Chains A and B, each alone.
Chain A
């Protein structure tokens, strides 16, 4: 009986360690694979707030998820955009790339028009234009 309880306890401990190891996998200065510098990010909402900016006319389209990974020595970014309204929405978006010194790593990207159906999600993906780009912002602009 005692042995059974010991095995169960060991299994639970092993699972717990596994989860802890996964959480600890994130490098310091990164959140969900995205560079955050010294900013305090404890949730996806914090990350989105840090990385998404609105310019010009505000849009109700929201970035709900963001993940980054490396492809070679370039950042690859996936951002999920959500339109939770019952109307079709049109927005423009672009990424802004920042280098190690906080300067622009690349010229201003072209605005990309995007149509979002009512109550829908779209993932926009991009790859950094250069390995000098170590940080980014997603810029949204309403077309309405």
Chain B
């Protein structure tokens, strides 16, 4: 048992109270922010970069003759290669581009390679004995894409003592599946510089 004699207790109790108050004051503050605001916490790839790339690519593609003709081209999304030294979820970029294009009503998307397994599994499931054959999806009716979308993201990073400069270049291409022609391509460049102090 700890013996707290009176003089010692007199010193310890205010000390403990002070620590408790200090711990209470250090409470983190949580606030909602603007998801579409400009984020400059670090100069690594961030939400503003993702949103700007998705918007820029989408608007450019909507103005391309192959899309602007109102033919509702069918497109499949392929890989965007990350050639930077950072970890970048390139799927998040292509998902944003696909969502904006689909919402525009100018393009339709066919199932891509990443989602093909799930598509086949669902088709096979519906062909099982548990489903009404008149209401289940038939096999052999999927529509192939006329165009495939692919791209890459590269970066150049330079750093001296107090300055770090990051340059990102995102390139997206739309290829004609049948004849192998490049129907549209565009780039978005982003430069961010951090200066210490």
Contact = CB atoms under 8 A, between A and B. Distances in A.
Interface in B10-49: 36-38, 48
Secondary structure of the B contact surface, majority rule: helix
Give the interface size bracket for B toward A.
20 to 34
B110 interface: no
A92 interface: yes
Given A71-B63, A74-B63, A110-B48, A129 B38 contact: no
Contacts of A109: 36, 55
Contacts of B55: 109-110, 112
Contact of B68 (A71, A108, A130, A143): A71
B146 interface: no
Most buried by A among B51, B58, B59: B59
Contacts, number: 54
Contacts of A76: 63
Interface string A92-122: 1010000000000000111111000000000
Interface of B: 36-38, 48, 51-52, 55, 58-60, 62-63, 67-70, 100, 103-106
Interface of A: 71-74, 76, 92, 94, 108-113, 126-131, 143
14 contacts: A72-B62, A72-B67, A74-B68, A94-B36, A108-B36, A110-B36, A111-B38, A113-B38, A127-B62, A129-B62, A129-B104, A130-B103, A130-B106, A143-B38
